[in-house]
Amino acid sequence: MDLNIAVLSGDGIGPEVTNEAVKVMDVISKKFDHKINISEGLTGAIAIDRKGNPYPDETHQICEKSDAVLFGAIGDPKYDNDPSAKVRPEQGLLEMRKKLGLYANLRPTIVFESLINNSPLKKDRIQNTDLIFVRELTGGIYFGERGRKDNGNFAYDTCEYNRHEVERIAQLGFEMALKRKRKLCCVDKANVLESSRLWRETVQNMESRFPDVKVSYEFVDAVAMRLIQWPSEYDVLVTSNLFGDILTDEASVISGSMGLMPSASIGAKNALYEPIHGSYPQAAGKNIANPVGSILSLAMMFEHSFNREKESNIIKQAVQHSLKEKITTQDIHGNDKTYSTSDVGDFICNYINSFS
Ligand code: IPM
Ligand code: MN
C-alpha cells in the first residue's frame, strides 16, 4: 500500500516519542511492503514560536492531503501561567480537530497483565479491564457559544449538540460494541441537562437497529465512581466532549501507566493518532520518555485507517513482549533497570524484524 502520513511531533517529549513510532513504521513498512511517504508539519508552542500560530495553514494542508496523522504532544509551561496569552498551543489542537472534522475520540483503557501491580487500584478490581471511550470531539461546551458580560464580571460557556452530532458518534459506539463485548454505555447527565436528554433520546432511538448490543444509560457522576470500582464491567462508553475529557483522564489511572495509552481521533475523511500523555516538558530532550503510547497509536492507525489488523497486531505483540521482558522506561516502576526512549523503540523494532 502507499501510505501518506503527516507527522506532527509538536512540543516537549513529542518529537522523541514520535521518532520511535516512525522507526516502527519504517520496520513494518519494509516487512509488509508498504510505501510510506512522510510529511512533517509544525504545531503547538513550536508553531507559535516560528509562525505565530499553533496550527498554521501549511500544517492544515499537509494534514488534509494525508491518509492519517501521527501526532506527538503539545503544550509549553510558558503559556500555562500566563492568563493573558493571546494564543495558546491548546487552541491549535482544538482548531485542528474542528478543521479536520475529527468528531470521535477513541481512548482505550487496557490493563497489561505484566504491569498489573503498577495500578494504584487493587488487582482484583482491575483484572480483565478492557474498555474504550468514544468521546465526542468537535462539539459540546468546547465549541458552544461563550463570552463575558457585565464588564467581564459574568462569564458563560454553552453546551450545544444537534441530533446529527449525537447520532454519528453513537453509531460508531454501536459498531465498536458489536466488534467487542457488545455492551454500550451512554454516559450523560440527563437528569439535569437538556443536551444530555437529546443524547439519551437519540441513543434510545437507535437501539432497535442494534439488537445484539446491550445498552445502558448512566449518569456521569455515577460513572466517575463505578469506573474505578468495577472498570471491567464496562466495554464501550459513549459520551460528550467535556465528560469524555474528564473521564478518560480518570480511566488512564486504572492501568497505572499513562505513558502506554494510545488514542485515535476519527473523522469522515481523516484521522489522527496520538498518545494520551501530554508534552511532559521536564523530560524533554532527555531520552527518558515512554514511547509506547505513541507506538500503540501507530497500531491503532494501521487498524482504523488502513484496515491492516496484521500490522497492528504485530506492533501490539512487540509492545507486550517489551513489557514482559521489562524493557521499559523509568515511568514504569518496579523494574531494577530502566531503558531509554530509543532503547525501548529499538527493542520493539528488533522484535518486529525477527518476526517471521
Ligand atoms: C485532551 C486535552 C485537550 C482537551 C486540551 C489540551 C485542549 O486535555 O486531549 O484531552 O481538553 O481536549
Ligand atoms: Mn484531556
Render pLDDT for 145-171 as a digit per residue (tens, 0 to 9). Answer: 999 999 999 999 999 999 999 999 999
65, 156, 249, 324: the active-site residue? 249
Q: Is the CB of 245 under 6 A from ligand 1?
A: yes
Same domain, 81 and 207: no
Same domain, 169 and 57: no
Strands 262-266 and 104-110: antiparallel
- The secondary structure of 282-349 as a DSSP string is GGTTTT-S--HHHHHHHHHHHHHTT--HHHHHHHHHHHHHHHHTT---TTSTT-SS---HHHHHHHHH
- Per-residue model confidence (pLDDT) at position 355: 77
Number of domains in the chain: 2
Same domain, 76 and 186: no
Catalytic residue check, 79 = no
Q: Is the CB of 274 under 6 A from ligand 1?
A: no
**Cell numbers 507559535 label which residue?**
48
Let me know if residue 260 belongs to a domain. Answer: no
Same domain, 85 and 185: no
For 271-327, the pLDDT digits (tens) are 999 999 999 999 999 999 999 999 999 999 999 999 999 999 999 999 999 999 999
Domain range enclosing 311: 1-102+279-356
Separation between Cα atoms, residue 184 and residue 173, nearest integer Å: 7
Same domain, 89 and 183: no
- Per-residue model confidence (pLDDT) at position 15: 98
Catalytic residue check, 189 = yes
Same domain, 31 and 70: yes
Question: 255, 289, 322: which is the final residue of a domain?
Answer: 255
CATH number at residue 333: 3.40.718.10
Let me know if residue 269 belongs to a domain. Answer: no
Same domain, 87 and 203: no
Average pLDDT over residues 209-234: 97
Same domain, 79 and 129: no
Average pLDDT over residues 232-259: 94
Question: 255, 290, 314: which is the final residue of a domain?
Answer: 255
pLDDT exceeds 80 at position 336 = no
Let me know if residue 274 belongs to a domain. Answer: no
Same domain, 206 and 315: no
Q: Of 335 and 26, which is predicted with more confidence?
A: 26
Same domain, 157 and 87: no
- Per-residue model confidence (pLDDT) at position 203: 98
Same domain, 74 and 25: yes
79, 189, 331, 339: the active-site residue? 189
Q: How many CA atoms lie within 13 A of 73 on its CB side?
A: 27
Strand order in the sheet with 262-266: 35-40, 2-10, 68-73, 271-275, 262-266, 104-110, 130-136, 236-239, 183-188, 214-219
Identify the residue whose C-alpha is closest to ligand 1 atom 12. 245
Separation between Cα atoms, residue 313 and residue 316, nearest integer Å: 5
Question: 255, 288, 319: which is the final residue of a domain?
Answer: 255
Set of cell numbers at residue 130: 478492557
